[in-house]
A and B are shown apart, each in its own frame.
Chain A
Amino acid sequence: MTETGQGKAPGTAPAVRVRGLWKRFGEQTAVAGIDLELPAGRFIGLVGPNGAGKTTTLSMVTGLLRPDEGSVEVAGHDVWRDPAAVKARIGVLPEGLRMFERLSGRELLGYTGRLRGIPGPETDRRADRLLDVLGLADAQHKLVVDYSTGMRKKTGLAAALLHNPEVLFLDEPFEGVDPVSAQTIRAVLERYTASGATVVFSSHVMELVESLCDWVAVLAAGTIRAHGTLDEVRGGAPSLQEAFLRLVGAEGRLDDSHLDWLGGGAR
């Protein structure tokens, strides 16, 4: 953390600055003009229903997808104009992309670390620690292709943390993960943000976001509906879930008459 220590206190320069971000896939507009500043040193949740554009946004922010319009800065560096500075400072766990699954967990970490330019012995030392902490030590010599979903997510997280990034982007890190692995991931992330790093993760599980994050951005239909600290976004609503449903306009109750035949005694 020494080289990246400065400028991380909350309230200083933003970790991520997004301006006028657009992305269309044919007829469909996935992201429709996002302007957003994510504060540094926070645990940030990007929430939204399925198809809101969370993955598209995170892909563009991390440089894995080229936006149609707009600019993205991470830690003060433009993602497209200065990729070297950005890629060295971010860690990514994407959703729906494979890893090199024919390597064992340990080989995968060794490979990732060395590609990132970390010296071999140092990579192995860090990999050892991460594998231990994430409970993967027993399975480290097994091929990733034989791992369960939780083990894959943990391996992906370890690969993303290996070079000690300033900002960590996680796309649905808890999707399909069992409670035990989820707790492990959570503990690691909390320890990591406590040291001043920024975590940005996407999810559609409000309870999780509410319990983990101190800063939230709500995304729906490719636009930002609300952003700010958890309290600001929650407003007067009793829970983030309620506030979220209100924001995305989905709070309408189920019309009882359609399903009045469902349940009850008469079949």
Chain B
Amino acid sequence: MSAAAPEPAAQQGATAPEPGARLGAAALTPVFVRLRLSLLRGGLRQSAGRRAAYLASSALALLAACFLSLGLVLLHGNTHADAVTVPLAALLALGWAVMPLFFPSGDETLDPSRLVMLPLRPAPLVQSLLVASLVGVGPLFSLCVLAASAVALAGTPGAWALAVLAVPLALLVCVSLARAVAAANVRLLTSRRGRDLAVLSGLVIAVGAQLVNFGVQQLGSAGLERLEPVAGAVRWVPPAAALGAVASAGEGSYGSALAQLALCALALAGLLHLWRRSLERLMTAPDGSTLQAAAPDAVRRRGRDPLARLLPAGRTGTVMERSLRYVWRDPKTKAAWVTSLAVGLIVPVFNALQGSGSVYFACFAAGMLGIQMYNQFGQDTSAFWMVAMTISSPRDAYVELRGRALALLVITLPYATLVTVLTTALIGDWELLPEAVGLSFALLGAMLATGAWASARFPYSIPQEGHKNVAAGQAGLAWISVFGGMVAAAVLCAPVLALDLWLHLADRASAAWLLLPAGTAYGIGITLLGLRLAAPRTARRLPEILAAVSKG
């Protein structure tokens, strides 16, 4: 694609009367439209596979657009039409907003850094890029869907008239939303803090997927009427508000219709303004990371923090303090933790909400959080040498691993308890609470034990850039470490599970509360045993562990 890029620049050079002259939007627009087309052509020319993929996906998108449009048009006159079309428009806009985050390189005209060297002013640039963005399969698809939605909603002549305005407006909001997000994203990625945030973005998707899954299941059981209140609210959110305006006009409330349309126009203006500001910053300001390092970073945290004062003295406290700081400050560690916390909560609680859950599902939280004990040294990256230099006996290694386990427990113990109580409260089966907590603690102990051992035996690197969590060539190692460990942890829990089963089968459920102290004691015991076994191995294998975790 890059081969095609200089072409329009040269064209532009030929049409520009003199260097430094201001190019108006009128002159620039055809240039950018041609640039987009030639980038598309250049991309297709590159390889047969790419051409096939592009043609197939375009055909598929157009086919989907046809069917979707047909379906929407058939809704014409249906009283629930707005319950479908309005959320659909919102979904479409959401798609436009997230797309540039996933395919930042999908369209080079989306990347403002490519335009930095051209002598262009932001205002005409924004206008012409906006027009150029309307060329493509994506905008065509959106146009079909939006137009069909408008047809589905429009009943009165007034509504038809409004639809003529509303559809292009909604499309423009979608496209400028994508552009504004893309520009903001590039700006974000030029600073360290921004890159840190980008690592966390994968998580939003993971948690979002769970929520969407939950929503869809709710919808499946309740039907389209469930969407009515959603549609009612979304009707006022641009660009769905444009379709909301058509619906309002159809119902005869022209005041609302005009307000909704105005809201869309306002949103378009706002987005264009944001996009323009991002472009200006990108084209004139230096790399964000340079500025950041030079900026004086307020005098924060003079003296010892409160955190340090609460922790025990010596190596234990020192290790805990560092581990806990990393949970918050290191983007990779933070992402892993937030995922564990979120999934550990969502699975039992949502299952309970849907009535398909059980109190025992709450153990999931302990299991998810226990995973954090795995690959402890890989989480250090090659900075592990600083730890290795201070471990000269199995005792040092033991204290180090114990400190890390304790740091984990500071968060995990209250959290696992909370999730169990919450799940029990939702299900209402309070008698099961003590044994569920006991089982959770036993599982947590088993996870900590196997995690400590796997950290010493199967360490692997976690690359610090990007979304990958395993360095190339170490995926097998990671699988053995985490999945082997989880199976082992489940097996290690067997005695406690067996006790629970026996109590229930032997009709002694009244004594099941015993599982709380038994599970807790078992968890503590097995953790200590795991640490004891892992420590000499860690102390013996320091150089090997360092080599394994330094590949990222």
Contacts and interface: CB of A to CB of B under 8 A. Distances in A.
Interface of A: 62-66, 83-84, 86-88, 92, 94, 96-104, 107, 110-112, 114-117, 120, 138-139, 141-143, 145-148, 159
Contact of A100 (B192, B317, B322): B322
Contacts of B192: 145-146
User: What is the interface of chain B mostly: helix, strand, loop, or mixed?
Assistant: helix
Contacts of B382: 96-98
Contacts of B11: none
A65 B542 CA distance: 9
Given A64-B546, A141-B297, A146-B293, A115 B390 contact: yes
Interface string B270-294: 0000000000000000000000110
A98 B386 CA distance: 9
Contacts of B297: 139, 141-142, 146
Given A65-B547, A114-B314, A143-B329, A100 B393 contact: no
The 10 closest A-B pairs by CB, nearest first: A84-B392, A114-B318, A102-B329, A83-B392, A115-B390, A97-B382, A66-B543, A98-B383, A142-B297, A87-B392
A87 B390 contact: yes
Contacts of A92: 385, 389
A44 B183 CA distance: 52
B383 A146 contact: no
A99 B389 CA distance: 12
A141 B293 contact: no
12 contacts: A63-B389, A64-B543, A64-B546, A65-B543, A83-B393, A87-B389, A87-B390, A98-B381, A100-B326, A139-B297, A142-B297, A148-B293
B189 to A, nearest CB: 16
A115 B392 contact: no
Nearest to B387: A115
A146 B315 CA distance: 27
B380 interface: yes
Interface in B281-331: 292-293, 296-297, 299-302, 313-315, 317-319, 321-322, 325-326, 329-330
Nearest to A66: B543
Given A100-B322, A102-B329, A147-B293, A112 B386 contact: yes
B383 A97 contact: yes
A14 to B, nearest CB: 22
B388 interface: yes
B301 A99 contact: no
Contacts of A148: 293
B544 interface: yes
Contacts of B412: none
Contact of A99 (B317, B325, B330, B386): B386
B527 interface: no
Interface of B: 192, 292-293, 296-297, 299-302, 313-315, 317-319, 321-322, 325-326, 329-330, 380-383, 385-393, 542-544, 546-547, 550
A83 B322 CA distance: 24
B383 A115 contact: no
A97 B299 CA distance: 29
Contacts of B392: 83-84, 86-88
Contact of A115 (B300, B318, B381, B547): B318
B322 A63 contact: no
A100 B301 contact: no
A94 B393 contact: no
Contacts of B315: 114-115, 117
Contacts of A103: 322, 325, 329
Given A62-B389, A99-B383, 8 more contacts: A64-B388, A64-B543, A87-B391, A100-B380, A104-B301, A111-B318, A117-B390, A159-B386
Contacts of B383: 97-101
A64 B385 contact: yes
A94 B325 contact: no
Given A64-B385, A146-B293, A102 B325 contact: yes
A172 B389 CA distance: 19
A101 to B, nearest CB: 7
A107 B391 CA distance: 20
A45 B322 CA distance: 35
Contacts of B299: 141
A100 B386 contact: yes
Contacts of A102: 325-326, 329-330
A142 B321 CA distance: 17
B385 A111 contact: no
Nearest to A94: B385
B550 to A, nearest CB: 7
A159 B389 CA distance: 11
A166 B208 CA distance: 55
Contacts of B330: 102
Contacts of B319: 115
B542 to A, nearest CB: 7
A63 B301 contact: no
Contacts of A62: 389
Nearest to B331: A102
Contacts of A64: 385, 388-389, 542-543, 546
A156 to B, nearest CB: 9
Contacts of B301: 104, 141
A136 B319 CA distance: 24
B402 to A, nearest CB: 14
Contacts of A83: 392-393
A62 B543 CA distance: 10
Contacts of A143: 329
